[in-house]
Amino acid sequence: MKEIKLSEAENIKVHGRTVAGRDPLRLLWTGSSLELNVQCTELWAEMAGPYSEQENWIAIEINGEILSRRMVSKEREWVCIFRNKLNTKPTRVRILKEVQAMNADEEHCLEIYSLKCDGELLPVPEKKLKIEFIGDSINSGEGSIGARGEEEWISLFFSHVNSYPYMTAKQLDADYRVFSQSGWGLYISWDGNTRCAIPHYYEDICSVVPDKVFKPLGFFEKNDFGSWQPDYICINLGTNDAGAMDNTGFEDTDKIRSAACSFLRTIRKNNPGAYIIWGMGMLGDKTAEYIRAGMDDYKKDSGDEKVEYLELPPVTDATVGARFHPGVKAHAAAADTIVSRIKELRA
pLDDT digit string, tens, across residues 171-184 = 999 999 999 999 99
Q: 102, 122, 142: which is the final residue of a domain?
A: 122
The pLDDT score that the predictor gives to residue 232 is 99
For the domain that residue 288 is a member of, what is the CATH number? 3.40.50.1110
Between CA 217 and CA 55 the distance in angstroms is 20
pLDDT tens per residue across span 133-153: 999 999 999 999 999 999 999
Number of structural domains (the chain) is: 2
Q: What is the pLDDT of residue 64?
A: 97
30 touches 140 (CB < 8 A): yes
Give residue 63's pLDDT: 97
Compute the C-alpha angle 317/322/323, nearest 5°: 100
**Best CA proximity match to 27, nearest among 2, 53, 3, 6:** 6
**What percent of the chain has pLDDT above 70?**
100
CB 198 within 8 A of CB 134: yes
User: Judging by DSSP bridges, how do beta strands 232-236 and 275-280 pair with one another?
Assistant: parallel
- For the CA atoms of the chain, what is the radius of gyration? 20
86-113 confidence digits (pLDDT tens): 989 999 999 999 999 999 999 999 999 9
CATH, residue 27:
2.60.120.260
Report the run of H or E that residue 260 belongs to, with start and end: helix 253-270
Instruction: Answer yes or no: do 201 and 62 share one domain.
Output: no
Same domain, 204 and 333: yes
Q: Are residues 145 and 237 in the same domain?
A: yes
The rounded mean pLDDT for the chain is 98
Rounded Cα gap, residues 183 and 243, in angstroms: 9
Q: Say whether both 227 and 197 belong to one domain.
A: yes
How confident is the model at residue 57, as a pLDDT? 98
Alpha-carbon distance of 32 to 123, in angstroms, equals 19
Q: Are 187 and 257 within one domain?
A: yes
Q: Which domain holds residue 48?
A: 2-122
Same-domain check for residues 103 and 186: no
**Same-domain status, 191 and 225:** yes
The reported pLDDT for the residue numbered 340 is 98
Tell me the percentage of the chain whose pLDDT exceeds 90.
99
The phi and psi torsions of 59 (rounded to 5 degrees) equal -120, 145
3-state secondary structure of 62: strand
Residues 10 and 104 occupy one common structural domain: yes
DSSP class of 258: H
Residue where a domain terminates, one of 122, 156, 184: 122
What's the longest Cα–Cα distance across the chain?
63
Q: 346: part of which helix (H) or strand (E)?
A: helix 328-346
Same domain for 227 and 177?
yes
- Name which of 56, 53, 1 is nearest 24 in CA terms: 56
Rounded Cα distance between 248 and 256, Å, is: 15
Q: What is the 3-state secondary structure (H, E, C) of 137-161?
A: CCCCCECCCCCCCCCCCCHHHECHH
Shared domain check, 116 and 76:
yes
Of 122, 154, 172, the residue that ends a domain is 122
For residues 60 and 30, membership in a common domain is answered with yes
- Mean predicted confidence (pLDDT) in 298-319: 98
Residues 161 and 79 in one domain: no
